Amino acid sequence: MHRKSLIGAMVLAPIIAFAGSQTQVHAVERCAGIYSPGNPYDCYNGGNCVWWTWHWLRWGKGDRSVPFRYSAHPQGSNAHLWDDIAQTNDYIVDGNLEMGAIAVNETSTVPGTLTGHVAVVVGWNDTYLYVDEMHWGRYGLWQRMPYRRSKNYFTKFIHPKTQPKLFNITPQPFYASSDMSYLLRGENLDRVTQLEITFPSGGKGYLSGRQIQYKDFWNLQMMLTLGGRGRWTVNAITDQNVESYPMPFDVQ
């Protein structure tokens, strides 16, 4: 069986909950103990499947342009339409399983109203699909194991866009008053078009164009002036507006 944890430190545990139709949406940034800045959906007494899957795409997979926002796509509050919205926003949608994909059910009703259901794929075997999910209108119960569903319950899978990863920076960063060349190592760096730099003061700057000297799948060479001592972070952003997790580094 394929199964592993996908949530990491940002999301403390898998959740269970239930899909539902939303005619009025009141955006909340906290649901079942999870903080999700910018989430456009309601929590509805502690659970909402579209709240959870939006959170996963934005904060689990780094997609800065998640298209399922209520203001842009009012129908996005109904889970059964998520595969259609995804296809119009350049996501790959098909019947193929993938760890971290959004599984879509297009026929679920609650109660008697077509709503569908969405969840995050975390594993499968020949009989069952394991997902992290919420349910509309029910409190998100913490579970040690992912929720198990029949493999034919979900018929479509939305594949998250490619997320870059950052592993390390060389040489050891040091204080300087002019540009120095540094090498970032990671994955999917060939799609990076911009680097977001956070200074020790909390301010931000961006590198692009000639400041990114070279890139391939594993490596990215950048020119950067480290004009202050303390904790810096670098965040890689791709041509699809998908970001890495910020990587901290110290300048002495």
Structure tokens at 54: 């939006």
Which structural domain range is residue 107 located in?
2-159
85-133 confidence digits (pLDDT tens): 999 988 999 999 999 999 999 998 877 788 899 999 999 999 999 999 8
Name, in order, each residue with C-beta under 8 angstroms of 135's C-beta and a sequence gap of 6 or more.
16, 17, 18, 19, 20, 47, 48, 49
- pLDDT at residue 84 above 70? yes
What's the CATH number where 178 sits?
2.60.40.10
* Domain end (from 122, 138, 159): 159
Alpha helices in 162-233 (DSSP H): none
* Domain end (from 140, 159, 178): 159
22-79 confidence digits (pLDDT tens): 444 567 898 888 899 999 888 877 788 888 999 999 999 999 988 876 555 555 578 9
Residue type, 110: V
DSSP 127: S
Structure tokens at 77: 């509050």
Percentage of residues of the chain with pLDDT beyond 70: 83
Query: Looking at the DSSP assignment, which residues form a beta bridge with residue 169?
Result: 184
- Considering the domain architecture, whether residues 26 and 109 belong to the same structural domain is answered as yes
